[in-house]
Structure 1
């Protein structure tokens, strides 16, 4: 008979890999371990159950679950007769990928769109300064050109997000049948 400890050891390699992968995208190692632990758990879990399995504090659990929920990697579940909040990992890795990256790209677009607008406004305002030199005008115009190209990039990125969210991406990069079930 295979012991639960041996099963956990076998899972550990993938959990650590998920931890490293999430760290590459700016998530904490504890969030990666939490997601990996939940990934292998079939039933929804309470924060107390997660705490027992990971050894993390309840505060860390709560923070991690909120962050993973915001990225749509973890979902809150309801179960009749259970008073505590239950959570489960998204097991569909294609869906996880799409939701994670769309959330991250949307944040990038929103953050940089505001900054681009402010920078453009400030640079255009400088062009009205009566003391501006021809060299400064040239530098400002070059900067405005760079910002215009950056805006085109964010328009492209917005279209990419829409392609993922609509599922149109699968017309170009189909999901293998074994993942589509």
Structure 2
């Protein structure tokens, strides 16, 4: 029988890799460790079980689970007879990738669309001011042109999100089958 600590040691390598990967995308290391721990866990877990396995406080655990849930990396589960909230990691990493990036790209699009609209409004108002110089007018028109190009990017990004959400991306970049990636 393989000792559980040896299994934990073997898992730790991938958990730390997930932690580093998530940090690259702006998630905290504790959220990465939490997700990695949940990734290897067979059954849905309570916050108390997660706390025991990770050593994190219940508050940190709750915050981390909420953040991971909002990114669709963790899902709430229900089991008959269990009164506490249960959570499990999304094990389909392709699905996790699609959902994570679609959520992040949608946030980016929404945030920047509002900012572009406000900036355009402010710049157009400046054009109506009586004391504006020709140089300032040129600067404003150049800025408006840059914002138009930025809007093209966000329109493209919105189409990319639709391609991911609809699954059409897999027509161009299919997910390999298990037998294609085994050693």
TM-score bin, normalised by smaller chain = over 0.9
Partner of 1:118: 118
Partner of 1:55: 55
How many angstroms apart in 2 are the aligned matches of 1:115 and 1:74? 31
Q: Is 1:161 equivalent to 2:161 in the alignment?
A: yes
> Secondary structure at the residue paired with 2:41?
coil
Distance in 2, Cα, partners of 1:17 & 1:155: 33
What's the offset of the Cα at 1:177? 1.8
Q: 1:64-103 maps to which residues of 2 (within 5 A)? A: 64-103=64-103
How far did residue 130 of structure 1 move?
1.1
Give the equivalent residue in structure 2 for 1:38: 38
> Which deviations, in whole Å up to 9, do the C-alpha atoms of 1:83-110 show, x marking residues without a partner?
0000000000000000000000011111
1:82 Cα shift? Answer: 0.2
Give the count of matched residue pairs: 179
Report Cα offsets for 1:109-152 as digits up to 9, x if no partner.
11100000000000011111111111111000000000000000
What corresponds to 2:108 in structure 1? 108
Q: Show CA shifts across 1:64-93 (max 9, x none).
A: 000000000000000000000000000000
Runs of 4+ residues deviating >2 angstroms:
none
Partner-residue secondary structure (3-state), 1:83: coil
TM-score (ref. length: structure 2)? 0.97
For structure 1, which runs of at least 5 residues remain unmatched after alignment?
none
Q: Distance in 1 between matches of 2:169 and 2:35?
A: 26
Distance in structure 1 (CA, Å) of the matches to 2:132 and 2:140: 10
Question: In angstroms, what is the RMSD of aligned CA positions?
Answer: 0.8
Q: Which runs of 5+ in 2 are unaligned?
A: none
